[in-house]
Chain A
Amino acid sequence: MKIVIIGAGKIGITLADQLLREGHEIVVVDEDQNALDAVGTMDVLTIPGNGITKETQIEAGVPDADLAIAVMSTDEENLLACLIAKKLGVGSTIARVRNPEYSSGMRLIKDDLGLSMALNPELASASEIARILRAPSAIKIDTFSRGRVELHKVRLPEDSPLDGMKLMELGKVQSGVLICAVERGEHDVFIPSGTFALQAGDRISFVAKPRIAAKFFPKLGVKTNPVKRVMLLGGGRISYYLAKQMLEFGASVKIIEINPETCRSLAELLPDANIIHGDATDEHLLSEEGVAKMDAVASLTGIDEENVLMSLYARSVTDAKIVTKINRTTFSHIIKSMDLGSVFHPRYIAADHIVRFVRALQNSYGSNVETLYKIIGNKAEALEFRATAKSAVCGVPLMELQLLPNLLIGAINRGGKILTPGGRDTIEPGDTVVVVTTVTGLNDLDDILDKRRAKA
């Protein structure tokens, strides 16, 4: 696809890099030549100029492009650029809109602006962190059907009661859970069948409804400390969104912020949260505010070094879940070598969201993929398809379908109701179906059938 990225900032460059890897044609527009030089080594076309003007957009080929992504520094610029791009005839537009005050009104104006997606990196990051905090033992969580189905990845602990259990026996332990992929050792990835036996140390991915997933964790032998008390260090936008979500979830939230102005406005916006004015790098203050008694501590200041220090300190005084925000994408192996709990790169999260959108957009040309995740280090894919009346799989009990090897149907969403599929279930038109597979390049629900076997 042809994609024009307006704004060569941090997210713009990360996006260009990731979309390039997916084989798209990328044009990057920015006024600042130095910023463009930073992308100069990538195989992209760079256009200097103001991305909001019609002339520059025409020069960048916006009229024939499939997608324009505006990631300049201010929301207003991005919205304006997208509006112009849409008028010039671009396929879809994505704007970064990060001001919390705009976010709520976004629904009102999104259609009028012709905006396909409004990306709020801080909100996306906060949601990601909130999801991890709600299920503190999961390594990674992806969502389908607007959050009604979740794909969890978790490591089976040494003393797990499921060690050695065959998957067909799993129903006795917990119904409504489907283990769809198992990683063992360094390289092995299995799409398991019923006779597959689990081993301690496996990293398993399973599909379930959020409520059932929460019930399933203790049965796996995974300790879950439901997060009741959260401490957020730094009071930026991510902290605001995260605090809001955690409060809704019923947790008590304490935010430590150094800027008195910010403290005041946070206190106004979040009346239920406990806002502390002070330096979060002050060891004495942290212990006074009870960092040791927290279930989760998130270091979210704008300075990576401070976040690393605070997380290391928190780790030394408590067993709580630790979350560390890192802006820089360099030195990743150093970051990995430290015990910083879950590390978040807001830039990657934002870019991931867009890449996912682009994949869906690309897939929607002649196919009906709703969502697509690369899981297990790109070795497998989890896709969500929408079944149409024409589909050959409809109305046939699943046990009679000749599916491709290494492919599994993880969940069926029928009008908001989630079915964990058994052999007698059928797929009906209008359902969305989550499929997990190591086979790549599926474009349509009918692609899950093994055509060769069906003929034979």
Chain B
Amino acid sequence: MNYRMIAYLLGYVLLLIGAFLLLPVIVALIYGDGGLFSLLLTALLCAALGGLMMLLKPKKDRTMHARDGFVMVSMSWILISLLGALPFFLNGAIPSYLDAVFETVSGFTTTGASILNNVEAIPHGLLFWRSFTHWLGGMGVLVFMLALVPLSGESIYLLKAESPGPSVSKMVPKMRTTAKILYGIYFAMTVLQILAYQLGNLCGWGEISFFDSVCLAFGSAGTGGFAVRNTSLADYSVYVQTVTTVGMLMFGVNFSIYFFLICRKFKLIRQNTELRYYLVIILGAIAIITANLMLTGGYFSDLRDAVHHVSFSVGSIITTTGYGTVDFSKWPDLSRIILVLLMICGACAGSTGGGLKVSRIVILVKTARSELRRLLHPHSVEVMRMDGKRVDREVIRGTSAYLVFYILIAVLSIVLVSMDNFGRTDTSVTAVMATLNNIGPGTTILIGPSGNYAAFSALSKTVLILDMLFGRLELFPMLILLRPSTWRKH
């Protein structure tokens, strides 16, 4: 492996994180309610460490193979999580380092699972950093780096390892331009959401401070879910909640769609299979849950209210954001089961959302269906199509392997977490589902929208931290780290 090149790129990532930490430093300066020293110290530490590692820049051999790319991606995520946790720990806002790492991993992986009982007690600078990790982790720090550093062609492996979905499609020939376009769309949409919140202030549709609107926009852009109030989004106006619903759903769509929109390639949007399924699943889930709640009775007084909150919750769960306006962990079983299914399903490939991804589900269902048909017509030849184009056999195989690893990791994690013995089996199950799919809140009261993960043991927290990383990086980059042959010299 090309250790020097990996170290050099890791150094670059750390330097970027150091630079990004200056934003919360400014926020801490403005509010003056603490956290300034710890943020500044971490920024300096990242810059110093990054600078040192960049000295290792290889003179000759700059090639990176698939293996180096995957290792580099997982290492960078682990490294930025460990360093990004320092401000919380140094400040004393989160006294245990493990908890601070949990919170940071939850931030970078856009999970939004928190161990904090009282969010409102945290200084503004740290709160901002907490939400900012969502924004950075949503599109990926490495993608940001790719937009800045000209790297050789092999760095496609970095993009492959970090962007979600069964196959990576570049929008334009140059990877660097692709990365720039992705971040451009991402940035523009985030600004748009902040402006939409501010519009509510202007028109009197509901007060929201500028700080809150930025943090909430970061949380929905990265489909993370860290809120800045203990009640998540319950205390905001209907307008703010609706803007958030729309925002979340939009960030759960494959970013290529927006690129096609800019290029006016409407035909390609109409052809997009995943987008169609995504919308159908959302509407279906909203209909079933609303009917279930209204028929059971006792949850919402009128239908409009019900549709509003159910849309918010469905949007929040399927895009794996994890904001809450109502405590859906108290809903009837059918509604909660549907939410768990939405958790597993997740958002579109190429979005900032987590989960299995709609396109993988579509591929898996189509594979299963064609296998069934082959039982009846053993000699039939079939070609699977997505977006009006043939799906490569490699992609189908990779998707099946992905499902197998996904189930194995989920089962293993559930077994380990269940040792905490909370008395309800579904707590361990949804805790793993909510972290592995990068959602945040589970569907039981302990870890629901108004609960948190503080009660878990150190072992469970470690397992859940790993689950979050596994989920965000889509299993394989992390699994490669665990294979001894990755590290063997040849």
* Bound Cα distance A44, B390 (Å): 20
Within 8 A of B (CB), among A16-36: 20, 25-27, 33
- Check B60 for interface membership: any CB of A closer than 8 A: no
Within 8 A of A (CB), among B385-408: 389-390, 392, 394
A2 in contact with B156 (CB, 8 Å): no
- Check A332 for interface membership: any CB of B closer than 8 A: no
Interface string of B163-188 (1 = CB under 8 A from A): 00000001011111100000000000
Query: A25-B172, A27-B173 known; A43 and B152 CB under 8 Å?
Result: yes
* Bound Cα distance A28, B254 (Å): 23
B392 in contact with A33 (CB, 8 Å): yes
Within 8 A of A (CB), among B118-162: 152-156
Given A26-B173, A41-B154: 5 more A-B contacts, CB < 8 Å: A27-B173, A43-B152, A43-B153, A43-B174, A43-B175
* Chain B residue total in the interface (Cβ 8 A): 16
Sample 23 A-B pairs with CB under 8 A, ordered by A number.
A2-B173, A20-B153, A25-B173, A25-B174, A25-B177, A33-B392, A33-B394, A40-B156, A41-B153, A41-B156, A43-B152, A43-B155, A43-B156, A43-B173, A43-B174, A43-B176, A44-B153, A44-B173, A45-B170, A45-B173, A48-B390, A48-B392, A49-B389
- Check A197 for interface membership: any CB of B closer than 8 A: no
Chain B residues with CB under 8 Å of A2's CB are 173
* Bound Cα distance A20, B156 (Å): 14
* Bound Cα distance A26, B388 (Å): 24
Chain B residues with CB under 8 Å of A25's CB are 172-174, 177
Chain A-chain B contacts (Cβ-Cβ < 8 Å), number: 32
- Check A139 for interface membership: any CB of B closer than 8 A: no
Name the residue among A20, A41, A48 with the largest chain B CB count within 10 angstroms.
A41
Within 8 A of B (CB), among A40-87: 40-45, 48-49
Name the residue among B174, B176, B389 with the largest chain A CB count within 10 angstroms.
B174
- Size class of the A contact interface (CB-based, 8 Å): 10 to 19
Name the residue among B153, B170, B389 with the largest chain A CB count within 10 angstroms.
B153
Chain A residues with CB under 8 Å of B392's CB are 33, 48
CB distance from A15 to the nearest CB of B (A): 14
The residue on B at minimum CB distance from A64 is B263
The residue on B at minimum CB distance from A23 is B174
* Bound Cα distance A44, B155 (Å): 12
* Bound Cα distance A26, B153 (Å): 12
CB distance from B383 to the nearest CB of A (A): 12
Which of A41, A42, A45 meets B172, CB within 8 Å? A45
Interface of A is mostly: mixed
CB distance from A201 to the nearest CB of B (A): 28
Chain B residues with CB under 8 Å of A27's CB are 173
A42 in contact with B170 (CB, 8 Å): no
CB distance from A61 to the nearest CB of B (A): 8
* Bound Cα distance A451, B335 (Å): 77
Chain A residues with CB under 8 Å of B173's CB are 2, 25-27, 43-45
Chain A residues with CB under 8 Å of B153's CB are 20, 41-44
Chain B residues with CB under 8 Å of A49's CB are 389
The residue on B at minimum CB distance from A43 is B153
* Bound Cα distance A20, B173 (Å): 10
Chain A residues with CB under 8 Å of B174's CB are 25, 43
* Bound Cα distance A20, B174 (Å): 10
* Bound Cα distance A267, B132 (Å): 77
Query: A43-B174, A43-B175 known; A48 and B154 CB under 8 Å?
Result: no
Chain B residues with CB under 8 Å of A20's CB are 153
B156 in contact with A48 (CB, 8 Å): no
CB distance from B384 to the nearest CB of A (A): 13
CB distance from A390 to the nearest CB of B (A): 35
* Bound Cα distance A366, B51 (Å): 42
Chain A residues with CB under 8 Å of B156's CB are 40-41, 43
CB distance from A20 to the nearest CB of B (A): 7
Chain A residues with CB under 8 Å of B176's CB are 43
Chain A residues with CB under 8 Å of B389's CB are 48-49
Chain A residues with CB under 8 Å of B155's CB are 43
CB distance from A12 to the nearest CB of B (A): 15
CB distance from B408 to the nearest CB of A (A): 28
* Bound Cα distance A20, B172 (Å): 14
* Bound Cα distance A44, B176 (Å): 11
CB distance from B397 to the nearest CB of A (A): 13
* Bound Cα distance A27, B173 (Å): 6
* Bound Cα distance A2, B394 (Å): 29
The residue on B at minimum CB distance from A33 is B392
CB distance from B266 to the nearest CB of A (A): 14
Chain B residues with CB under 8 Å of A48's CB are 389-390, 392
CB distance from A44 to the nearest CB of B (A): 6
* Bound Cα distance A392, B154 (Å): 46
The residue on A at minimum CB distance from B157 is A41
Interface string of A185-223 (1 = CB under 8 A from B): 000000000000000000000000000000000000000
Chain B residues with CB under 8 Å of A33's CB are 392, 394
Interface string of A397-427 (1 = CB under 8 A from B): 0000000000000000000000000000000
Name the residue among A20, A40, A43 with the largest chain B CB count within 10 angstroms.
A43
* Bound Cα distance A33, B154 (Å): 19
* Bound Cα distance A27, B170 (Å): 11
Nearest 3 pairs between A and B by C-beta? A43-B153, A25-B173, A45-B173
The residue on A at minimum CB distance from B66 is A41
* Bound Cα distance A202, B279 (Å): 72
The residue on A at minimum CB distance from B64 is A41
Interface string of B208-244 (1 = CB under 8 A from A): 0000000000000000000000000000000000000
